[in-house]
Amino acid sequence: MGTVSDMGGLAFAGLIFLSLLATDIQGQEFGDAQLVYEWTSLEFDWPSEKHRNESLGNGTYVPNRNMVAGIKVYKDSVFVTIPRWFWTSGHPVTLAKVVTVRGEEKLSAYPTWAAQIQGDCNALQYVQGMEIDPNTGLMYVIDTGRVGDKLNLCPAKLVVFDLNTNSQHKKYELPTIVASYTSNFMNDIVLDYVGGKARFAYISDANDAHLIVVDLTTGKSWKIQHESMGIESKHAEMVTINNITYTISVALDGLAMSPDFKYLYYCSLAGFNLYQIPTSSLRTGKTDGIRLIGSKVSQSGGIGYGSKFLYYGALGLNAVYYWDSDKDMADQNVGMDKVTLATEKLLVRNDSTMQWPDTFGFDTRGWIWFVSNRLQVFREAKGLPQDGNDAYMRVWKVYVNETGYLYQSARRTEGTSLEQEGNGSESCFSYTLKTFFFHLFAMFIGAVLVIPEMTHS
């Protein structure tokens, strides 16, 4: 148990949190966007200036090869990935946390510099995607093991870091039959909760065009292949952004898990179609129940489920859209197993500052976060364009008044099991901000009540 001063601290923290939430909720409207960071090029938080100079000198650091792609937020920390793509050298760091050093936002190697060493299979080789479980503070990082799409250095792996201790918690090395040593491109990852615990990880392989399932309890893994995970058509490979057409031949990419953990949603980058597959199939290695939901307004890289809406980048429109599935289910008078995509709503758009909305994350205060990185230009120019001072990478957050699919999933999935499909999760999932406030308030009151009691004893 805590001491008297701990409890005082807790009550105080509760107060601050409450007032922050109140500010967010009073001050923000659905769809309000805030620019959090913008970078023309990335600056790392080097161990020393000497280290930086030497890395520039020996080519292990080439500034214009470094671009952020993945983003997730945990408490007040922002984590990003820096893919080691197109070149076989020049990216000193592939997983980082944003830190402020003397007023400047820098990327700090996460969890350590040693974890970034290219060619060391105990370290990370190439990270595009990761997920953070807000219930536990565990971060699930996918590492392709391959650099620049040609250096096949290490087996693909899923590495779990504990953000509370900044240490490695677990590692799952994937057999080459599941994630090819020479061709995998593990891109995005979501978690599936069973019985109050993160039980499975689902990973998209954008090059070999299949899903990878990792059973986090047994360590076993398998792949799920289906034609819906490939490149949709020649037409779908063409992404037109501000009147310029780019050919982007990337298969299965974005993944979103429904907040009741019944369906995984997915799409190929070279595609307009959005599909669903029941988790009951994924968990048992089947393709049963794969269903086309509908065609999106544009191609998407990342997609992500909140507690209500499914959000997705609309690459050709420099925008983020969302699917209001509740409205479509009501209008069509069907459930999630039959609903089709009809209500696509624009969340935010900006033709200059929101080009290529890449990936999404959620905080617990009602904001969705995303990276816009103009990947289409970076790909063509083979690096960050050296044409002046415009920021090529931006981190945005948009107020959506909801939390991510994992929010309180430990509590919401208590009592579910692999045998007894689904049941029970629906009624649990009517979690609203009102209940959230109530819980916070209860915590706060609890802490206040405990203080006098402990002072007397």
Contact between residue 97 and residue 79 where contact means Cβ atoms under 8 Å apart = yes
Indicate the angle between helix axes 4-27 and 433-456, nearest 10 degrees: 160
Please list the residues that pair with 152 across neighbouring strands. Answer: 146
The footprint of ligand NAG on residues 94-123 (CB under 6 A) is: none
Identify the residue among 60, 240, 295, 343 touching ligand NAG (CB under 6 A).
60
Identify the residue among 30, 346, 380, 455 touching ligand NAG (CB under 6 A).
30
What residue has token string 């489920």?
Answer: 305
Contact between residue 31 and residue 453 where contact means Cβ atoms under 8 Å apart = no
Count residues near ligand NAG (CB under 6 A). Answer: 20
Contact between residue 114 and residue 105 where contact means Cβ atoms under 8 Å apart = no
Q: Which stretch binds ligand NAG (CB under 6 A): 182-190, 205-213, 254-262, 346-354?
A: 346-354
CB of 440: closest distance to ligand NAG in angstroms?
14
Q: Please, which residue, 7 or 33, has the CB nearer to ligand NAG?
A: 33
Identify the residue among 1, 27, 58, 218 touching ligand NAG (CB under 6 A).
58
Q: Please, which residue, 96 or 267, has the CB nearer to ligand NAG?
A: 96
CB of 29: closest distance to ligand NAG in angstroms?
6
Please give the full DSSP string across 214-264, using - where no structure is assigned. Answer: EETTT--EEEE--GGGS---TGGGEEEETTEEEE----EEEEEE-TTSSEE
The H-assigned helical ranges of 28-148 are: 49-58
Terminal-to-terminal C-alpha distance of the chain: 14
Q: Please, which residue, 28 or 340, has the CB nearer to ligand NAG?
A: 28
Q: Please, which residue, 131 or 363, has the CB nearer to ligand NAG?
A: 363
Contact between residue 327 and residue 310 where contact means Cβ atoms under 8 Å apart = no
Site membership for ligand NAG, residue 54 (CB under 6 A): yes
Q: Please, which residue, 112 or 242, has the CB nearer to ligand NAG?
A: 242
Q: Please, which residue, 32 or 149, has the CB nearer to ligand NAG?
A: 32
Site membership for ligand NAG, residue 3 (CB under 6 A): no
CB of 290: closest distance to ligand NAG in angstroms?
32
Identify the residue among 51, 169, 171, 291 touching ligand NAG (CB under 6 A).
51
Cα separation, 122 vs 309, in Å, equals 38
Residue 354 neighbours by CB under 8 Å, 6+ apart? 318, 319, 320, 348, 372, 394, 396
Q: Please, which residue, 26 or 182, has the CB nearer to ligand NAG?
A: 26
Site membership for ligand NAG, residue 64 (CB under 6 A): no
The footprint of ligand NAG on residues 232-251 (CB under 6 A) is: 242-243
Identify the residue among 3, 50, 335, 419 touching ligand NAG (CB under 6 A).
50
Q: What kind and span of H or E run contains 331?
A: helix 325-332
Give the Cβ contact number of residue 410 at 10 Å. Answer: 17
The footprint of ligand NAG on residues 175-234 (CB under 6 A) is: none
Identify the residue among 5, 23, 77, 352 touching ligand NAG (CB under 6 A).
352
CB of 303: closest distance to ligand NAG in angstroms?
22
Identify the residue among 353, 379, 385, 443 touching ligand NAG (CB under 6 A).
353
Token digits of residue 17: 């949190």
Q: Please, which residue, 292 or 346, has the CB nearer to ligand NAG?
A: 346
CB of 400: closest distance to ligand NAG in angstroms?
8
Q: What is the DSSP letter of 437?
A: H
Cα separation, 427 vs 433, in Å, equals 16
What residue has token string 């983020």?
Answer: 320
Which residue has the CB atom at the shortest distance from ligand NAG? 54
Cα separation, 382 vs 39, in Å, equals 17
Q: Please, which residue, 223 or 397, has the CB nearer to ligand NAG?
A: 397
CB of 442: closest distance to ligand NAG in angstroms?
18
Q: Please, which residue, 114 or 449, has the CB nearer to ligand NAG?
A: 114
Please list the residues that pair with 168 across neighbouring strands. Answer: 161
Please give the full DSSP string across 119-143, using - where no structure is assigned. Answer: T-TTS---EEEEEEETTTTEEEEEE
The footprint of ligand NAG on residues 410-449 (CB under 6 A) is: 432-433
Contact between residue 300 and residue 254 where contact means Cβ atoms under 8 Å apart = yes
Residues in touch with ligand NAG (CB under 6 A): 25, 29-30, 49-51, 53-55, 58, 60, 242-243, 350-353, 401, 432-433
